[in-house]
Structures are given as C-alpha cells and as structure tokens.
C-alpha cells in the first residue's frame, strides 16, 4: 500500500472550514464487517456501538487495608491512581502562576539540531527559552509530552493538564451541552483556590466552546475573559479578529492589563490559551513574517516571537520574581498538510517550558511522560510539596519517581485508561 493511494483531489468548496454548531450531528459511516453492510448514521449514534461489559480496569481502584479495627481505603504506592483528595499538598511560600496553553505548538517545527525536523528553525525564541529554563524531553534533545488517549485535542489537553486524568467522553467537543465537568476531580484550580489564589482564564474564543467555562469555573476559577466579554470592554478592528475570535497578538496585549490588575489582589493564577495555530490553516496576523517555506511555518514563527516578547514583559514586572510561568503545547497540530514531511520514525511531541521554577532536576532528558504529568509538576514548580509526588495519574517530573508509562509501558496504560472504571465512573466522570 502506498501513501499516494490516499491522495485525492477534493473540491475546496466541499471541505468543511468551520465545525458544526452541534458537533454530534456530524455524519457517521458504520461498517458491519460480519454482515458486510454499511449504515449512514449521525455521530451521536456511536454510543449504540460501544460495549463496555467486558472492559473493566482496576488501575483506578483502591485496595482495602486489613486492620484489627476495620477495613478502610488507603493509598498504596503500587496502585497507579492516587486520589488528590487523600494527598497532603502544602507550601510555606508558593509562587504565582502564569499558565499558557499553546495551540498546536509541537517540537517538530524546530530544526533537526534541536530536536525538530526542519532545516530552518521555525521556533527560535521558544527553543532558547526551553534551553535557558526547564524543558522535559522524550529524547536527548528538546522534546516533550507523548500523545496519549484522552489528551490530544484542546479541551482534553486542558483537562488532562488540569486534573491529571484523560478526558473520557462520547463526543470530543460536546461538553458545552453538559451540566457538570468532572465534579469529583480535584484540579490545580481547586488546590490554588484552597490556598487563596485569585484565578482568571483568558481566551480569544467563546468560553462555552467544548465546556471550557464549566471546566474552569466549576474548579476554582473566579473569572473568564473570552471574546464576548472582551468585546464589551474593548473595541476591536476587523484585522484583530479571526473566525474563532481574537488574534493572539491582541490577546497578549490585553493579558498584560489583566495580570497587572490581578497582581494587586494578592496571589494569582493567570491562565490563557492561544489560537493562531489552529487548523486547518492557522491565522496570519500583521506581525507574521513571510520568510519561511509555507503559511503555517510563518504563523509558528510569529507565535514564537509573540510569546517571547510576552515573557520579556513579565520579567520586567515587580511580581516576576515570585511567579512561575508554564508554557505547554496543547496537542500536535491537526493541520495534516503541514506535517506530511515528518519521518515515520519521528515521535511528534508537544512543547513545554517551566520558567522561574522553585525546584530543579537533572532528570529532564529521555523521559516518557504525558500531559497528565503536568498537574503535579506545575504545582511542584510553584513551590508546593506533594506527598508521594503523584496526583491522579500524574507524576511530579521534578521528583525521582518514574511516570506511569515509564513504569508500566505506554501501550498497557493507553489500553487500560480506555476501559471503564467503577471508581471514576461513579466519582469523577459525571457530566449530567
């Protein structure tokens, strides 16, 4: 079989450019191998074809300790899932947090010398930031988190970094139609809320998309600034907007205003998400160069400059000394036409960089980890002490402990997390 066999000429007018308002109404083709028949359904019908009866996992379930007095659930280092509700998380002096989800920023767009596949580095500033600070890598060059089930699209990536768990849903971006967002999970937002942090999320798109507002507002956040609320406060020119919302260069400008106000309230967590590298083609802005081979590479280069400029501004502020900044790519790009040149033996990973961390480690290279490990690692970088250095399915990468995929193998864990869990289904994965 050759790759050329899958190269079809499709009229551009027949290719969807924007997602449906109701994503679960997308068409679904169902092939019955046994009967050799084809049915045409809608995506919301997929639940009728799933059978979980024989797909149970025990990796989330705690064992009962036999004592003279009674049997009670206890933590055990041999059990993979570590319930954050049962773990002591303390700090005498923790930093503020600026956390940035970087849309589709993957390490492939660096040059080969630094761990990418390009002849010319499309991310020169981000490369230098990673070298000058802490970058956890899957290789001996710059690298990052491995793609993993339930973490490879934006809301899933946010969830996994926020909770240490994969997002398990029937429809990928249908969370806006749900009432609750994993109410039993204890997230970064919940922990920081308990410690008196004022927390704000800023996004250039609509906060309701994929249930983003529910994820953050139901887990400790005080405020969300999205395109609709920002339009009420500011006026925008047409060249500052795109089909998803606000261009990133403008979002970074407004972020400075919001952080300046937050810093006056006490300890803060300012979280934001970029959008310019979003599929199918990304969004060019007035600052994008025209020096790289294709449109997408120029957008990546623009992102690199914008982020670096924002970090430089942060470094000039009085609160910077007491602030940890975390940069993480949310998932590898889905704009497939721009990664057709990736060698088959190359592992695409997302970018990460921990700036002004309160802890350090020499164990940053040749690590096997996922976005779920960002959960305890971020808290550790801020100065929190985590009993056992594990939260949910995440491992503090600043510790000497192996991640769950380093210990058990990626294939095994990837298979197990897709199964049904009595504990999580009852206590965490509740959405209605």
The DSSP string of 375-420 is: HHHHHHHHT-EEGGGEEBTEE-TTSSPPPHHHHH-HHHHHHHTTSB
Q: What is the pLDDT along the chain (432 residues), one digit of tens a residue?
A: 566 666 666 676 667 777 676 666 677 887 766 556 677 777 755 655 555 444 567 666 554 444 444 333 333 344 588 999 999 999 999 999 999 999 999 999 999 999 999 999 999 999 999 999 999 999 999 999 999 999 999 999 999 999 999 998 755 567 777 889 999 999 999 999 999 999 999 999 999 999 999 999 999 999 999 999 999 999 999 999 999 999 999 999 999 999 999 999 999 999 999 999 998 999 999 999 999 989 999 999 999 999 999 999 999 999 999 999 999 999 999 999 999 999 999 999 999 999 999 999 999 999 999 999 999 999 999 999 999 999 999 999 999 999 999 999 999 888 888 888 888 888 898 887
What token pair was written down for 331?
Answer: 């998932």
HSE value, Cβ hemisphere, 13 Å, CA-based, for 188: 34
Bridge partner residues of 271 (DSSP): 99, 201
The alpha carbon of residue 393 and the mean position of all alpha carbons in its chain are separated, in whole angstroms, by 15
Spans of all domains in the chain: 19-50, 84-427
CATH topology of domain 84-427: Alkaline Phosphatase, subunit A (3.40.720)
């Amino acid at each position: 079989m050759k790759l050329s066999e899958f190269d079809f000429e499709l009229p551009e007018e027949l290719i969807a450019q924007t997602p449906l308002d109701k994503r679960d109404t997308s068409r679904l083709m169902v092939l019955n191998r046994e009967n050799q028949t084809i049915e045409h359904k809608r995506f919301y019908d997929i639940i009728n074809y799933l059978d979980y009866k024989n797909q149970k996992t025990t990796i989330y379930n705690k064992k009962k300790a036999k004592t003279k007095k009674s049997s009670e659930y206890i933590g055990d280092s041999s059990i993979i899932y570590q319930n954050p509700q049962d773990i002591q998380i303390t700090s005498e002096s923790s930093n503020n947090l600026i956390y940035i989800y970087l849309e589709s920023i993957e390490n492939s767009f660096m040059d080969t010398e630094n761990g990418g596949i390009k002849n010319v580095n499309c991310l020169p500033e981000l490369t230098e930031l990673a070298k000058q600070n802490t970058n956890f890598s899957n290789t001996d060059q710059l690298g990052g988190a491995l793609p993993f089930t339930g973490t490879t699209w934006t809301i899933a990536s946010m969830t996994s970094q926020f909770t240490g768990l994969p997002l398990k849903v029937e429809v990928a971006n249908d969370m806006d139609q749900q009432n609750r967002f994993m109410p039993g999970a204890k997230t970064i937002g919940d922990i920081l809320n308990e410690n008196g942090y004022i927390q704000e999320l800023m996004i250039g798109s609509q906060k309701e998309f994929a249930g983003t507002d529910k994820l953050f507002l139901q887990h400790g956040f005080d405020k969300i600034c999205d395109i609709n609320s920002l339009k009420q406060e500011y006026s925008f020119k047409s060249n500052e907007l795109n089909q998803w919302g606000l261009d990133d260069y403008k979002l970074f400008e407004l972020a400075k205003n919001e952080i300046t106000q937050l810093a006056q309230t006490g300890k803060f967590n300012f979280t934001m998400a970029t959008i310019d590298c979003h599929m199918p083609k990304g969004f060019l802005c007035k600052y994008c160069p025209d020096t790289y081979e294709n449109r997408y590479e120029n957008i990546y280069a623009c992102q690199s400059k914008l982020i670096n400029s924002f970090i430089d501004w942060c470094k000039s502020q009085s609160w910077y000394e007491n602030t940890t900044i975390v940069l993480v790519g949310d998932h590898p790009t889905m704009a497939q036409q721009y990664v057709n040149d990736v060698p088959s033996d190359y592992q695409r990973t997302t970018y990460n960089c921990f700036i002004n961390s309160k802890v350090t480690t020499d164990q940053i290279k040749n690590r096997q980890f996922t976005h779920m490990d960002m959960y305890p690692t971020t808290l550790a970088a801020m100065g929190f002490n985590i009993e056992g250095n594990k939260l949910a399915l995440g491992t503090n990468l600043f510790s000497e402990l192996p991640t769950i995929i380093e210990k058990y193998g990626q294939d095994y864990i990837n298979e197990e997390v897709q199964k049904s869990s009595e504990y999580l289904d009852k206590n965490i994965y509740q959405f209605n």
